[in-house]
Structure 1
C-alpha cells in the first residue's frame, strides 16, 4: 500500500508545491485548504501528472472539528496516515497600531492553532499504531521577529514552543513517531498578493527569495530523515544566529530597514484581495509574482542534506591545510 501524506494549505504556495513533491515520490495525497475549486483542480493535476490518488478536503484549519473530520475522511478514503505536514498560514502586513483584535485572533487561529490542531489530529491516529511523521513548517521569523508581521511572527514563535513540548512527550512515551520542524526563508508564493495589507503599499518578500519547490524538497527531506530540525537557506541561518548574538542591534537595524525591505514603492490597489477571513478565488499555483528574482536551489539545504559528507570533506580539507602549513613552517 502506498504511503499517505496529508498537506494543509495545499491549494497554493508552499503547500501546493509540497503536495506535488510527495506525489512525485509515490505518496497518495490528501489536500486540505478552504477554496474548493482550487483544491479540486490541484488534486486533479496531481493525479494526472503523478498517477497517485489525491483527495481534496475543504478544511479551515482554524477549526479543530474540521481538521479532525478531515483526518477521519483521509483514513476512510485513502488509508492510515503516514505523514502529516502543517503548512497552512495567514499573515497581515500592518503595524500593531492598525490591527484589530479580530485580525490578530484570526491570524493566530490559522497559523498557530491550525498547526496545533493538525498535530493533535495526526497524533491521535499515529499513536495507537506507534508510527508516523509530523512536519511543522516554521520560519526564520519564528526566531527573529520583523515589523509589520507581528501576528505571523507571534504565531510562529508559539508553534516552536508547542512543538518542543510535544517532542519531549513523544520521547517520554517511547513512541516511534517522528516530529520535525522546517524553518523557511522568504519564498515566492501568492501570499504577497492576497494577504491582508494595511500599509498602503504592495508587499514583497525580503531578498534573497527562494522558489516554493526548494521549501517542498526540504519538507520532504525532513519527513523522510530523522532530523529534529531543518533550516532552509543561508538567510534563515543568518537571521537565527544573528539574533542570538546581537538582538538589540537587529532591533535597530529592522527599525530602519524592516519597512522598506517588505514593501515596494508601488501603491497597493484599494480593492486588493485578502484571504484572512475568506479564501481568495482564482487559479493561483505554487508561485507568486517574483519568479525573476527567486532562487531554485539552496546551498545551505544541500549541505544539510549531505551534512556527513560535507563535514567529512571539511575535516579532510582542514587536516590537509594543517599538514601543508606544518610543512611550510619546518626549518
Structure 2
C-alpha cells in the first residue's frame, strides 16, 4: 500500500485521451512525475501541458504498446529522465464496433495486439524494472467486459477476457515468489471517452457506451485509488459494472438473452454515423496536424460524474464494520427491551 505523498514516477499508456488522459491529470495533481505514452503527438503534447499546469512533471513519448522492443526503449528513457518507475498503468487499447463476421482477420489481430498484448508488453516491461528492486505497482485498466461479452465488441471483449486471465495468473506467480511488487485491476463501466469518435465502426448509427455510463474523471479516480491501494486483486467502478459481473455469475443464460434483445440498440444512438468518421486502428488520429480529443467523448451531458458504488467498493471494510456495529447495537437494544418482561414473568 502506498501511503507516502512524495512524488512518484508513473507511466500511463494510452495517455493522449480518455481514461489515460484523465488519469494523467489526477496523478499530476498530487505532484507525480508522469510519463505519457501513446501513438499520437497532438494529444500527448496537450496532456504534457496539463500535467505541468497541475504541478506534475511530464515526459511525453510516442510509442505503440504492441511493439515490445519500442516499449523497452521508452521505459529506459523514463528511468533515465524521471527515475525508477513506481507505478505503471496499462490503458492503451483500440477496438472495432461491428458484428464478428464483419471484422476482418487483420483487424481482429490488431485489436488483440494493442488491447491485450499491449498490456502484456507493458506488464513485462514494468516487471523487468520493478522485480529487481522488489517494489512497484502495476494497474491494469480493465472492464466489465472482461467478465461478460456483449454484441458488437467481440474483439475487445476477447482481449479483455484474456487480460483478466493473464492478470490472475500473474497474481499467483507474484504471491508464490513472495514479491512485494503489486498488480491490481480496475473494472470499468461504459465511459464517455473519445473512442466513440475514433474507433473503427461498421455500425449504421453513431456508437455510444452502454448506459448508464460515466465521465472519465470517475474512472481516473478509480485508477488512482488502485495505485495507492494495490493490495486488492481488483476494483469495480460503477453500479453497472457490479451488476453486470454479478448477474453473469448467477444467471449468465438469462443475460445472454437480455443482451441479444438490447445489446445492439443500446450501443447506438439515433443519429447516423458521420460519413467522414476517422478511425485509429492502424494509425493515430491525433498526428502533428490532428485534433486533440482530450479525455471526454461526445456525450458529456449524459455521463455520470459520481459513483456511490465506487466509494462503497473502496470502503467496504469500513462499511462492513459499521454494519456489524449497527447490528450489534440493535441486538443489544432488543435484548434490553425484552428483559423487564422476562423479570416480570
**Could you tell me the TM-score, scaled by structure 2's length?**
0.92
Q: Which residue of 1 aligns with 2:168?
A: 164
Deviation for aligned residue 1:324? 5.5
Which residue number corresponds to residue 313 of structure 1?
322
Q: 1:174 aligns with which of 167, 174, 178?
A: 178
**Structure 2 residue aligned with 1:228:** 233
Q: Secondary structure at the match of 2:11?
A: strand
Q: Say which SS state the counterpart of residue 171 (structure 1) adopts.
A: helix
Shift of 1:305: 2.1
Match of 1:145 in 2: 149
Q: Partners in 2 of 1:276 and 1:142 — Cα distance?
A: 20
Matched, 1:67 2:71: yes
Deviation at 1:86, TM superposition (A): 0.2
Asked if the contact 2:25/2:50 (under 8 Å) is kept, the reply is no
Aligned to 1:26: 31
2:148 paired with 1:130: no
Note if 1:58 corresponds to 2:67.
no
For residue 242 of structure 2, what is the aligned residue in structure 1? 237
Question: Deviations for 1:86-143, whole angstroms, at most 9, x for unmatched residues?
Answer: 0111111100111100110001111000000000000000011111000001100000
Map residues 73-222 of structure 1 onto 2, 5 A cutoff: 73-222=77-226
C-alpha distance in 2 between matches for 1:224 and 1:38:
26
Q: Offset of 1:327 from its aligned partner?
A: 6.8
How far did residue 322 of structure 1 move?
4.2
**Are residues 157 and 329 of structure 1, via their aligned partners in 2, closer, same or farther at CA, if it must alter by over 3 Å?**
farther
Corresponding residue number in structure 2 for 1:291? 300
Structure 2 CA distance for partners of 1:328 and 1:246, relative to 1, 3 Å: farther
Deviations 1:33-52 (A, max 9, x none): 011122012112211x2222
TM superposition shift of 1:319: 3.0
SS at match of 2:193: coil
CA–CA separation in structure 2 for the residues paired with 1:92 and 1:21: 29
Structure 1 counterpart SS, 2:245: helix
After superposition, what is the alpha-carbon deviation per residue over 1:238-277, rounded to whole angstroms, capped at 9, x for unaligned?
A: 1001001011110010000001110112110222111111
CA contact (8 A) 2:94 2:111 kept: yes
> What are structure 2's unaligned runs of at least 5 residues?
1-5
Matches within 5 A, 1:267-278: 267-278=272-283
Secondary structure at 1:246's aligned position in 2? Answer: helix
1:266 alignment partner, SS class: strand
User: 2:3 maps to which residue?
Assistant: none
1:161-210 alpha-carbon deviations (Å, 9 max, x no partner) = 11111111111112110110010001111111111110111001111111
For the aligned residue pairs, the C-alpha RMSD in angstroms reads 1.5
Look up the SS of the partner of 1:168 in the other structure: helix
State the structure with more CA Rg.
2
**Farther-moved stretch of structure 1 (62-71 vs 103-112):** 62-71
Name 1:35's counterpart in structure 2: 40
Could you say what secondary structure the match of 2:318 adopts? helix
For 2:205 and 2:166, how far apart are their aligned partners in 1?
A: 34
Q: How many residues are aligned here? A: 330
Paired with 1:34 and 1:104, the residues of 2 have a C-alpha distance of 19
Distance 1:253 1:97 in 2: 21
In the superposition, the TM-score normalised over structure 1's length comes to: 0.96
Q: Partners in 2 of 1:299 and 1:326 — Cα distance?
A: 34
2-side partners of 1:329 and 1:200: how far apart? 68
